[in-house]
Amino acid sequence: MNELKGEQILLRIFIGESDKHSGMPLYESIVHTLHREKTSGVTVLRGISGFGPKSLVHTSHILRLSQDLPIIIEIVDTPDNIDRILPIIEPMVEDGLITKENVQVVYYGVKNR
């Protein structure tokens, strides 16, 4: 497990649920890549509504059930690790948005129970 404390980087990737890479859902491909690259961790969030560069509104509303809901992938890691993985991840995202921001890590780990 990487040690994270203090000033780190949050990388957010906004994509669509139906986006693909190498025949599998893009979000799954990104998670597998990040795991292989030994990043500190990743969280995939499924949105209930949103739109992106194509201005198509996607929603989980029962009467207009979309198969392409927004997906947000979040990675918090050291600046060096983010800079290392970004050139691997960026070409995988054909339609979407990738952002970076500074974050303050207060706690990262597993407490003994």
pLDDT digits (tens, 9 = 90+) for 18-71: 999 999 999 999 999 999 999 999 999 998 877 766 655 655 555 455 567 899
Q: Which residues pair with 98 in a beta bridge?
A: 13
Tokens of 104: 């303050």
Tell me, what's the pLDDT at 30?
A: 98
pLDDT in tens, 58-113: 555 554 555 678 999 999 999 999 999 999 999 999 999 999 999 999 999 888 76
**Looking at the 3D structure of the chain, how many domains does it have?**
1
- Nearest CA to 79 among 7, 9, 5? 9
**Residues 100 and 10 sit within 8 Å (Cβ to Cβ):** yes
The boundaries of the domain holding residue 29 are 6-105
- CA distances to 1, 7, 11, 15, 105 from 90, in Å: 24, 23, 11, 12, 24
Question: Is residue 113 assigned to a domain?
Answer: no
Q: pTM, whole model, 2 decimals?
A: 0.85
Question: Is residue 57 assigned to a domain?
Answer: yes
